[in-house]
Structures are given as structure tokens and as C-alpha cells.
Structure 1
Amino acid sequence: MPPIESGDTRTRILETARELFTTQTYRAASMRDIAERVGITKPSLYHHFRSKSEILASLVTPPIDQLEAAVADAAARSTPAEIRQHVLAGCLDVMLAHRETMALLLRDASVYSDETTEVMSRVVAVVNRAVELLAGPDPDWRRRVRAAQAFAAATDPICQLTDVPADDLRAELLRGASVILDQPAAP
């Protein structure tokens, strides 16, 4: 494949890595593949990034930061209903703005490795906090189950339905998650 020519070298490396990680998986894409695709030497690639895990961290850190901010913003709301609404809407907005990167986090198990533990633990922590907020104050185990189901129902389809316009998908995901949260727990 011809090298990608737009932007500065670091940006081209990140764009190329995201594409290769998405199409080949994180584990399968090599530093050599990235360098060749960008049109630079492998030593030049290492001048910009010390490792593949550093590239992954550079890709996922901005959306993770934004997810953490969305969850913190939601936690500051005054009622459980407002908190739930803002957790779901805020997380969806971030995830829809970063669909390709979210595909790495949600669909590629190879991103969870010893080299990526620090970054991936942030992802797990933000998801856990979002689910906790969705469950509300003093939830029983059924409410916690519903909260986890609602979060998954609202976020998992983002990577599966890439052909659906973001605004339409957002509205339907919010609608579906709300239905799950509002259903009474079965006896």
C-alpha cells in the first residue's frame, strides 16, 4: 500500500496505526507495518514512539480523558435522573466522536495486555464509575445488573453499526438504554 501523506509524521503514524490496529488487530499490526505504511524507516518510527503500546496510549488517551470528564460532569448533577441522562449522553457523545478508537477498546481483546495495563485500567475504571452512577444511590444487585446492561446496550452497538448516522444512532441508543433502566426488577 502507498504511504499516507497527509499531516505531520506523528499524526500520520497515529492515523496509520489506528487503521492497522482496527483492520488487523492491535496484536497483529507490527511496528514495521506501521513504518512501511507511513513511508518511514522503523528507526524513524521509534524516534516518535518508543513502542506500539505508546502508540496505542496516544490514540486512546484523549477519548478516555473525555469519558472521564463526561462521567465526572454527570456525577455533579443533582438528581439520579439527571445523573443517568448525563452519563449516557456524555459517554455516547465521546464514543461516537471517536468510533474507530472505541472499536479498538470494545472489540479487540488484544489491546488488553501487560504493556497496556495502565491505559486499559483507566477504561475499566471509567466504565465501572459510569455503571455505578447509572445504578443510582444504594442499588440492589438487580439495579446494578440493569445499569451494566444499559451501559452495554448504549455503547456496544457503536462499533457494530458504523453505517448508521451518529445522531440517529445516538437517539436510538439513548432510547434503548432508558428502557432497560426504567424496567422494574423481576422478583
Structure 2
Amino acid sequence: MSRYEPGDTRSRIIETARELFTAQTYRAASMRDIAERVGITKPTLYHHFRSKSEILANLVGPPIAQLEATVDDAAARLTQVEIRQHVLGGCLDVMLAHREIMAMLLRDASVYGEETTEVMSRMVAIVNRAIDLLAGPNPDWRRRVRAAQAFAAATDPVSQFADVPVDDLRAELLRGASAILDPEPID
């Protein structure tokens, strides 16, 4: 008997995969594990998804699309200050809303494989574009380094502090990223 209420089987499969991928790693979770946990047969699972990588793409697709839209929106801003605020704040909001999925993307090396190249390449391209926007027009290498550091400072800890209230964590991560982008002169 399934532990789920009757409903959309595809949604149940994706939710179960999220649980298994984040608990066990992407590589360790099998199609059999997913099917058993959903309460369906493997052939039924394969009717809905051709592969585990297709399930992953459906799982991470919405947050990646939100990140992409956030970066696109930031790029349309008029000033560098607005661009930075929208890149950091917007990307952080998406990542905080999808903490488990982002933790998997940031911490589970097994999601980076031949079968997931397209999805992971898209994520890398979004992060690179966000960093370029943070660096501003015509940045020197130091500015690009600070932009990459700032983006990492704002986003990487999202998966490590699940016990911290979202608003508090968001404020602290933005404070840290801003300090990297606009450091005090060093004597």
C-alpha cells in the first residue's frame, strides 16, 4: 500500500525521487527504490519517465527556470546596484525556497554525470551569468574574483544551515556577500 493519497503519479514520483536523492544521493537511489516507495511497478515508473536522469531534470527544472528568470530580470535593471541586489537577493530567494534541491545540486557530486550533462550545464551557465552581472561592465580579474566569491558566499551556505530561520539566514548571507563585493580599503 502506498503512503501517498491518490493523485498525480508523476508528481508523486518526483517528490519521492527528491526525498531519495537528498537522503541517499542521486547515484544511490535506484528506479526500483523510487517505484517501490511510490507503490507502483517499475514498468509503470518507466511509463512516466524513461530514466532517472529524466526524473532529475523534472525535479530540478522548475528551480533552475526560476533562477534563470531571476538572472534575466536582474540583467534588465538600470543600475549596477539594482543588478547586484536582484542577482543576489533573487537567486538567494529561489535557493532558500528550494533548499533540499539546491543542496543536492551543490553537494551531491553524483548528479554530475554524462546522463545529466544538459541539466547541469544549464545550472553552471546561470551561475556564470549571475557572476558576470555581479562583476559589472568591463571588470578586471579582481572584480570577477570578488563577484564569484560573493555569489558563492550568498548561495553555498543555503544547504548547510537548515536550522536557521529563512529571514535571518537571508539577511546574513546578503550582508556577507555585500561585504565581499564592496570591501573596506585595506591599509
TM bin, normalised by shorter chain, reads over 0.9
Superposed CA offset, 1:26-72 (max 9, x none): 01100000001111111010011110000000001111111010001
Q: How many residue pairs end up in the alignment?
A: 186
Structure 1: unaligned runs, 5 residues or longer = none
TM-score, normalization by structure 2: 0.95
Equivalence for 1:5: 4
**CA 108–8 in structure 1, closer or farther in 2 if over 3 Å, else same:** same
Equivalence for 1:37: 37
Equivalences for residues 78-97 of structure 1 within 5 A: 78-97=78-97
User: Which residue identity does 1:62 align to in structure 2?
Assistant: P
Find the residue that maps to 1:18 and give its secondary structure.
helix
| 2:129 maps to 1:129 | yes
TM-score, normalization by structure 1: 0.95
Equivalence for 1:158: 158
Equivalences for residues 108-147 of structure 1 within 5 A: 108-147=108-147
Question: Whole-Å Cα distance in 1 between the matches of residues 53 and 157 of structure 2?
Answer: 26
User: Which residue identity does 1:4 align to in structure 2?
Assistant: R
Greater CA deviation, 86-95 or 5-14?
5-14
| 2:178 maps to 1:183 | no
Deviation at 1:111, TM superposition (A): 0.5
Structure 1 runs of 4+ aligned residues shifted over 2 Å read 184-187
Question: Whole-Å Cα distance in 2 between the matches of residues 3 and 155 of structure 1?
Answer: 36
Question: Whole-Å Cα distance in 2 between the matches of residues 172 and 151 of structure 1?
Answer: 13
Find the residue that maps to 2:173 and give its secondary structure.
helix
Equivalences for residues 25-64 of structure 1 within 5 A: 25-64=25-64
Question: Whole-Å Cα distance in 1 between the matches of residues 139 and 102 of structure 2?
Answer: 28
Deviation at 1:4, TM superposition (A): 3.3
Instruction: Check conservation: 1:143, 1:185, Cα contact below 8 A.
Output: no
Question: Whole-Å Cα distance in 1 between the matches of residues 110 and 25 of structure 2?
Answer: 7
Equivalence for 2:169: 169
Deviation at 1:3, TM superposition (A): 3.6
Find the residue that maps to 2:149 and give its secondary structure.
helix
Superposed CA offset, 1:96-139 (max 9, x none): 11111111111111101101111110000000000000111111
**CA 110–167 in structure 1, closer or farther in 2 if over 3 Å, else same:** same
Structure 2: unaligned runs, 5 residues or longer = none
Find the residue that maps to 1:137 and give its secondary structure.
coil
What RMSD over aligned residues (CA atoms) do the two structures have, in Å? 1.4
Question: Whole-Å Cα distance in 2 between the matches of residues 186 and 126 of structure 1?
Answer: 32
